[in-house]
Amino acid sequence: MSQPSLSAELTSEASSPVPARLGWRAALAEAVRGTHHDFSTGPVDRALLLLSIPMVLEMVMESVFALVDVFFVSRLGADAVATVGLTESMLTLAYTVPLGLSIGATALISRRMGEKDPERAARAAVQTLGLGFLLALPMSVLGVLFARPLLSALGGSPAVVAQGTVYTQVMLGSFVIVMPLFLISAILRGAGDAATSMRALLLANSVNLVLAPVFIFGLGPVPGLGVLGAAIATTVGRGTGVLYQLYRLLRGGGRLCLGRRHLSVEPATLGALLRLSGGAILQSVLGLSSWLVLMRLVASFGSAAMAGYTLVMRIILFAQQPSWGMSHAVGTLVGQSLGARDAERAERVTWRASFFTVLFLGAVSLVFLTFSEPLIRAFTVEAEVVFHASRGLRILSWGLILYAFVTIIPHAFNGAGDTRTPTVVNLACSWGLQIPLAYALTGPAGLGPEGAFLAIAITYAALGAVSAALFRQGKWKAQCL
């Protein structure tokens, strides 16, 4: 009988099956604390809970960066707020690259961890970080060089360009920090260590929260830097988070440990990563670009309609955060299950997560349908904005339940290494259905801005139904990584 490999021995010592009997309070505490369970075995529901909770918290904390900046910068005036908003729009587009790489990294590393081969997982992590650095460096340099013309091209006033160029240069130039922050989080999630990723974002946010008012307004010997201070605080906070992530990856004792022995170029791994990430990046670009087209369409109906659209989409996006956390957990669990050659478990994980997400989004829909107008009035009292936003929120609520499948199933495909299917579905539904339908409903059908909301709701339903039907075919089970 052959001896087990060193990788398998290390994995078995560090991990144990997800416990079948664990109280909900204990499960919550364990999810936040982090455990060394083997997520390719044990009860599916417990595995989803232990992984999704820290992932939800991580996403909430990532969004806090923007909220903190806007909260303090708003006291500097409209030009400072406009600078932050315009720069954020640039970053949103640039984030498609680390988001796509993150999906590829999670798919590769979760598959290797499911195969009980942490050594190959570690080598894949090094390839991911190396590729990320090679992409981030030119993006940072170009961001610094073209910050001023980009602000002007996006409609920034001369005052905004004059005041905000340095802020934008720092934010775009810090992409060499943003990239590893995204990628190491994806690496840790793929390894099943979502709690460490969450703690890194908590540390980064804490540093930013303390430094932002100091650098923006000044304190003692520290001069007030205005909007530039917000960029510096954010960059230092994120940099601190990256240092913590690297420390946990290099110190040993975790699910994944990187060392000098992993520092080599693996063309096959890089090729697989590029193939997976290319499709994932295209998914993000397609989704983002379709939203921008809809925003431009709604803006043609006036500032009140645009304000209503913005309010509704922020409320909807915030309400969906728990389902995004669940979807990232699904990507990890599907990859690890296929690595353990248990396709049936991968399928069961996906349908169970979809079921839980349907229940959650169904409850959210009922709340929105019942309290849409009071909820909108909590943000604005302008009658026309309330009218458009409350109607739009009610319309979107009818399609929100099927959005559970739009959230969960594409991540299951991506976790399995099949980034092509969700890309094609996204292209067909976002650009083949949503955009033409929105133009038809807002214009010839005479529904005005509410037509755009109806187009989104119909697209939710179509995306969910098509994704579920293709997933049931099971072709994703044959993906080799």
CA-based radius of gyration for the chain = 23
Amino acid 36: pLDDT: 62
Asked whether residue 257 falls in the same domain as residue 344, the answer is no
Q: Return d(Cα 304, Cα 297) in angstroms, integer.
A: 13
Residue 244 has pLDDT above 90, yes or no: yes
**231/329 same-domain check:** no
pLDDT tens-digit readout, 428-474: 988 899 999 999 998 888 888 889 889 988 998 898 899 999 999 98
Query: Among 13-27, 148-162, 388-402, whose mean pLDDT is lowest?
Result: 13-27
Angle between helices 194-217 and 175-190 (to 10 degrees): 160
Q: Tell me if 125 is assigned to some domain.
A: yes
Give percent of the chain with pLDDT exceeding 90: 26
Query: What is the residue-wise DSSP string for 157-176?
Result: -HHHHHHHHHHHHHHHHTHH
Q: Identify the band that residue 3 occupies on the pLDDT scale cut at 50, 70 and 90.
A: very low
Q: Indicate if the pLDDT at residue 85 is higher than 60.
A: yes
CB-based burial, 365-387: b 16+ in 10 Å, e otherwise: beebeeebeebbbeeeebeebbb
Q: Is 8 within the bounds of a domain?
A: no
Same domain for 298 and 418? yes
The residue type found at 151 is L
Question: In terms of domains, do 249 and 296 share one?
Answer: no
Model pLDDT, residue 12: 38
Question: Are residues 215 and 111 part of one domain?
Answer: yes
Q: Could you tell me the two tokens for 399? A: 């399609």
pLDDT at 292: 75
Check whether residue 250 and residue 383 sit in a common domain: no
Task: Select from 265, 299, 331 the last residue of a domain.
Answer: 265
Asked if 304 and 213 sit in the same domain, the reply is: no
pLDDT at 238: 93
Burial environment of residue 153 by CB neighbours within 10 A (0 to 12, 13 to 18, 19 or more)? exposed
Please determine, for residue 230, whether its predicted confidence score (pLDDT) is greater than 70.
yes
pLDDT for the residue numbered 33: 64
pLDDT for 42 equals: 72
Angle (CA) 373-374-375 rounded to 5° is 90
Q: Identify the pLDDT of residue 135.
A: 93
- From residue 139, alpha-carbon distances to 169, 176, 241, 433 in Å are 11, 8, 21, 33
Strand, coil or helix: what is 219?
Answer: strand
Structure tokens at 161: 């360009």
Which of 222, 241, 265 is the last residue before a domain boundary? Answer: 265
Could you report the per-residue pLDDT of 352-370, keeping only the tens digit for each?
Answer: 999 999 999 999 999 999 9
Domain-terminating residue out of 265, 295, 315: 265
Residue 351 sits in which domain range? 279-480
Are 245 and 325 in a shared domain?
A: no
CB 364 within 8 A of CB 318: no
390 lies in a domain? yes
pLDDT, tens digit (0-9, with 9 covering 90-100), for 300-319: 888 778 778 877 887 887 78
Co-location of 222 and 259 in the same domain: yes
Number of domains in the chain: 2
Smallest CA-to-CA distance from 229 within 168, 176, 167, 178 is with: 167
For residue 30, being part of any structural domain is answered with no
Is residue 432 located within the same domain as residue 384? yes
Q: Let me know whether 305 and 439 are in one domain.
A: yes
Residue 203 maps to a domain: yes
Chain mean pLDDT for the chain: 83
Q: Band the pLDDT of 279: cuts 50, 70, 90.
A: confident
One domain, residues 82 and 186: yes
SS3 content of the chain, % helix, strand, coil (to 5): 80, 0, 15
Asked whether residue 205 is domain-assigned, the answer is yes
29 found inside a domain: no
pLDDT digits (tens, 9 = 90+) for 88-132: 778 878 888 898 899 889 989 999 988 888 888 899 999 999 999
Higher pLDDT, 255 or 22: 255
> What is the separation of C-alpha 34 from the centre of its chain, rounded to a whole number of angstroms?
20
Residue 18 lies in a domain: no
Quick one: pLDDT at residue 66? 64
Q: Please report which helix (H) or strand (E) contains residue 16, including its range.
A: strand 16-17
Q: How far is CA 22 from the centre of its chain?
A: 29
Answer yes or no: is pLDDT of 350 > 50: yes
